[in-house]
Structure 1
């Protein structure tokens, strides 16, 4: 079964209102000083949100986009609440996979080909000298050599820059939190309600292959600029989550700094339809659980809980009582 890592940004982006960047900076790139985020001791993460209908309760735990690499999450209270729950609603996702090994090999070849520019082209030629000069300056503090980006399409060069920014800043994508939740659910034998939309790998590859080059160049330009402006904010969000500082989480902005990247992908009809479908599936699962089970536990990206257009806001607008945060 295959769900290629290279498709992960697309799969995640299809279901979220916003895609936050993992870039960091203070000042202009050539004066950039990146401080690694270090967290010592156990940290609790944020408290739970509570949604009620009559005497039925849905507990919501907000998972972060990024966490400090050194985070030791104190999960005891979440573990106890999961143990008391009758159902667990998995976070919304779009899944593209195949169990055919021959098909899987072909997909990986296609992905590798999609990442690279056509023969005879390099990144500087495609994006132009001014943007490439900015890129060279921006990646220097990240210990990333421009030569490693030269054969990549602009969108995938942007992805590489973001990944390196996370590494240098001591941040990482927070998949470990979700894996820990899954282990708790399994250990306590809590039935899982899946909220997955399925798409063909061919459909995903088609979305990637049809992105206009001008959209990719705009994506790279946004990423280069975000290195100067957003890594400090990303660190603040990660630290606020680790400390369970809900006030800070609500005050911190969750901008779509990758708007130029996401616009080229998610504005395609198939991608937009998948995103709408996936969010609808999750909302229906939440409402059904509130109508049926005394206690349900669910996890959602933290921005879905603190943003005014998130899934928690959707439940509030439908008349459910929201307490706690």
Structure 2
């Protein structure tokens, strides 16, 4: 039952981890500018790398003799890639703390969660048994059928999913067929390294408090989300985005920061994140107000605390938080920290 509960929470807050990655922020000072290259209009077919790979280098944030090493996570990664963790292992071993990636989560407690299970069942389904064909334009549905046949095959149950969840399942099916794994467990490997070296693991997740979780869940189940944009952007850019992800996965595996920074597909992520935050329910629920800004501010507070308390900290951020004008480290540089990018 606990696994089912966790799955339901994941489905309902699927988009929260990406929310912190797309927030517009003031551009950093010129010395903090990461590598940026004009995005290519078309990306050639790419063979996904295999075997043992080093991954990217680390960013260095420092003030005085206190330093924070920042490692950029990325997903999806090549299914047959083995990550060489030797460089990271040395840095983690001599650190006092590892900061896990930011995001948001609803915490209701194990036993309270069990009592909420009946309310959670069916959260990914459309209200009133509606089908995708009833909710999306005819041309979008025709496109959906073509891509569904290509990547998923026969699955009548998915036709009753909310568009945002149907789009996510389609994307994951496409990744799998193209040799990419949504989770290559690099984060898990770093967690093991920290545990083996008795280094403290510190979550940076923003915990959201709901006044009445049961009511919120019931309202969510009967409220249609504003997720048409997420659905159509996924369909329109699926094949292109998968190829882009293959290029980025190779770039991450080989430690090529310039290639990682070059290709951008944040429009799909932002549209899917907005499907939750722009819903009528989210707009009237205090826990979801200014969520992007709060996720970012929460990470900043914890990063500064670790930098002050530790001579060496190792932090994990998604690669989207480390490249581009809205990168998290620009906020630290604006506060007087020295930021050095990997070469």
TM superposition score category, shorter chain reference? 0.7 to 0.9
C-alpha displacement at 1:289, in angstroms?
Answer: 2.3
Structure 2 SS opposite 1:90: strand
1:222 to 2:225 alignment: no
Deviation readout 1:57-100 (Å, 9 max, x if unpaired): 11000000211111100001101110011222222132224444
Matches within 5 A, 1:99-138: 99-101=109-111, 103-104=113-114, 106-107=116-117, 109-119=118-128, 121-138=130-147
Structure 2 distance, partners of 1:290, 1:9, is 30
State the Cα RMSD in Å: 2.8
Report what 1:322 is aligned to: 339
- TM-score scaled to structure 1, two decimals? 0.84
Query: Would you say the 8 A contact 2:50–2:78 is kept in 1?
Result: no
Note the C-alpha offset of 1:136.
Answer: 1.2
1:161 paired residue among 170, 180, 189:
170
C-alpha contact (below 8 Å) 2:60/2:341 kept by paired residues: yes
| Secondary structure of 1:113's aligned partner | coil
**Paired residues of 1:211 and 1:265 also in contact (CA < 8 A):** no
Q: Quick check: 2:48–2:246 contact (8 Å CA) kept in 1?
A: no
Q: 1:48 aligns with which of 55, 58, 82?
A: 58
Residues 1:81 and 2:91 aligned together:
yes
Residue 209 of structure 1: CA displacement? 4.2
> Quick one: distance in 1 between partners of 2:129 and 2:292?
36
Kept after mapping to 1: 8 A contact 2:127/2:221: no
Scaled by the length of structure 2, the TM-score of the pair is 0.80
Q: From 277, 282, 289, give the equivalent of 2:306.
A: 289
Is the alpha carbon distance of 1:13 and 1:324 closer, same or farther for their aligned partners in structure 2, counting shifts above 3 Å? closer
Deviations, residues 277-325 of structure 1 (Å, cap 9, x unaligned): 2321211122222223211111110111112102112112222111133
How has the CA–CA distance of structure 1 residues 209 and 319 changed in structure 2, closer, same or farther, with 3 Å as cutoff? farther
**How many pairs does the alignment contain?**
310
Question: Is the partner of 1:3 in helix, strand or coil?
Answer: helix
Tell me the secondary structure at the aligned position of residue 123 of structure 2.
helix
Whether contact under 8 Å (1:37, 1:169) holds in the other structure is no
Q: CA deviation at 1:105?
A: 6.0
User: Aligned to 1:192, what secondary structure does the other structure show?
Assistant: strand
1:166-181 correspondence runs (5 A): 166-174=175-183, 176-181=185-190
Alpha-carbon distance in 1 for matches of 2:180, 2:59:
25
Match for residue 6 of structure 2 among 3, 24, 39 = 3
Whether the 8 Å contact between 1:197 and 1:274 is mirrored in structure 2 is: no
What's the CA shift for 1:47? 0.4
Q: Is 219-228 or 272-281 further displaced after alignment?
A: 272-281
| Distance in 1 of aligned mates of 2:288 and 2:174 | 27
Match of 1:13 among 18, 24, 27: 18
Residues 183/288 of structure 1: CA separation in 2 closer, same or farther (3 Å cut): same
